[in-house]
Amino acid sequence: MNRDGVPIARVAGIRISADWSVLLIGALLAWGVAGGAVPLEVPGTPLWLAWIVGVIAAALLIVSLVAHELGHALLARRRGIAVEGIKLWLFGGVAQMSGDLMTGRTEMLVAAIGPAITFVLAGAFFGSSWLLVQIGAPPLVIVVAEWLAAVNLALLLFNLIPAFPLDGGRILRGFLWTRTKNRMAATVAAARAGRFFAMIVIGLGVLDLFFLSPVGGLWLVLIGWFLASAARGEATGEQARHALEGVLVGDVMSKNPVIVPSWITVELLVEQYVMGHDFTSFPTHSIDGRIDGLVTMRGIKQVPLQQRGNRRAIDIAIPADHVPIARQDEPVTDLLKRIGTASDGRAMVYDGGTLVGIVSPSDIARLFQSGPGRVSARVAA
């Protein structure tokens, strides 16, 4: 799945993009109207006309989904949360935002605005279908309004189920978080409700698959599977965030790195420095003492044995200006945002002008192995 999707519009500064899978859901919806609602309500409608009505209804439903997501996005932005945009995909829409600044109350409000908009839309479509009947509008127009009202109502009810990551689950998490002041516990509880509900959906889907309709059943299984993995991902992400909370760069870095002359050969580097040290990377210094690069074990392994005698350390080092610089008193979460692939996931830690440590991916991994409890104990100490 393309992460950014295909850009389709920009509303109030919020980028709306769509994944190609939206075409699939659009076609299924149009099919549902053209092959279901239309022949049922207005028998004798020609197939081509039924399909035009179906496509219009599906497009209007997607607009309703966008309105729902825009509600989430705009309110989040008003409450100071960075909003990346809205993405439409197979299971509807999602407002992409960074959760960093959220409080329980903000989460509750931001989650609740979407269903509130869907509620208003369902009401508006019910109202207009009633009005259309009163003024004697063409039956096909009434069918579209009724269908939009019914589907929006169904979406509203589904969305309000208190299971993470549905809006109802987010409202629940925000509520628990506000009450207990513990985001982690609130997330775990809401995610557990989400997994429980997902299993019910999958179970219903399997029953449906065998006894009622294979297509509807498969759809339910897919939705359930998506909900289960989203709930699990949310809980894992929360645990990771929690494990890193309050941890400083100085707590995780490998201290006293072995700094090697950048002009020595790779062969000498391996013999004199790599053997006998646990480090997976070695900063290099130039003749004037300046740190000019970082040699990694990966870089060393890429040099064939027979070339190690005539290639210098600096030739295989990551240039120093490609390696992010960190301070010991900086939160690890801030550093992680800057570490990229250019430096092979590493950063150099300076105190004043002195290199005092290296942060490598294995330093970060160790944090998770030690478990959240041990990390907080270390931070508190």
Catalytic residues: 69
Q: Which is nearer to Zn ion, 102 or 316 (CB)?
A: 102
Nearest-approach distance from CB 61 to Zn ion, in angstroms: 15
> For Zn ion, which stretch binds (CB under 5 A), given 57-65, 167-175, 240-248, 324-332?
167-175
Q: Work out whether 169 is an interface residue with Zn ion (CB under 5 A).
A: no
Q: Work out whether 238 is an interface residue with Zn ion (CB under 5 A).
A: no
Burial profile 213-239: b = 16 or more Cβ within 10 angstroms, e = fewer: eeeebeebbebbeebbebbeebbeebb
Cα-based torsion angle of the residue sequence 77, 79, 80, 83 in order, rounded to the nearest 10 degrees:
-30
Nearest-approach distance from CB 165 to Zn ion, in angstroms: 9
Q: Work out whether 165 is an interface residue with Zn ion (CB under 5 A).
A: no
Q: Which is nearer to Zn ion, 173 or 242 (CB)?
A: 173
Nearest-approach distance from CB 326 to Zn ion, in angstroms: 37
Q: Which is nearer to Zn ion, 111 or 176 (CB)?
A: 111
> For Zn ion, which stretch binds (CB under 5 A), given 19-27, 109-117, 202-210, 273-281?
109-117
Per DSSP bridges, beta strands 254-255 and 92-97 are: unpaired
Q: Work out whether 107 is an interface residue with Zn ion (CB under 5 A).
A: no
Given 107, 167, 234, 238, the residue binding Zn ion (CB under 5 A): 167
Q: Report whether 292 contacts 319 (CB < 8 A).
A: yes
Q: Which is nearer to Zn ion, 92 or 345 (CB)?
A: 92
Per DSSP bridges, beta strands 254-255 and 354-359 are: antiparallel
Quickly count: other Cβ atoms within 10 Å of residue 245's Cβ. 16
Q: CA-based angle 11:14:15, to the nearest 5?
A: 95
Q: Report whether 83 contacts 77 (CB < 8 A).
A: yes
> E strands along 98-215, which residues?
none
Nearest-approach distance from CB 99 to Zn ion, in angstroms: 15
Nearest-approach distance from CB 190 to Zn ion, in angstroms: 14
**CA 5 distance to own-chain centroid:** 14
Q: Work out whether 174 is an interface residue with Zn ion (CB under 5 A).
A: no
Beta bridge partners of 92: 89
Q: Which is nearer to Zn ion, 107 or 167 (CB)?
A: 167
Binding mask 60-99 for Zn ion (x = CB under 5 A): ----------------------------------------
Q: Report whether 359 contacts 281 (CB < 8 A).
A: no
Closest among 234, 237, 227, 236 to 163, alpha carbons compared: 227
Q: Work out whether 114 is an interface residue with Zn ion (CB under 5 A).
A: yes
Q: Which is nearer to Zn ion, 107 or 292 (CB)?
A: 107
The residue of the chain with the least Cβ separation from Zn ion equals: 114
Nearest-approach distance from CB 159 to Zn ion, in angstroms: 6
| Cα(85)–Cα(79) distance, integer angstroms | 15
Per DSSP bridges, beta strands 281-285 and 260-261 are: parallel
Q: Which residues bind Zn ion (CB under 5 A)?
A: 114, 167
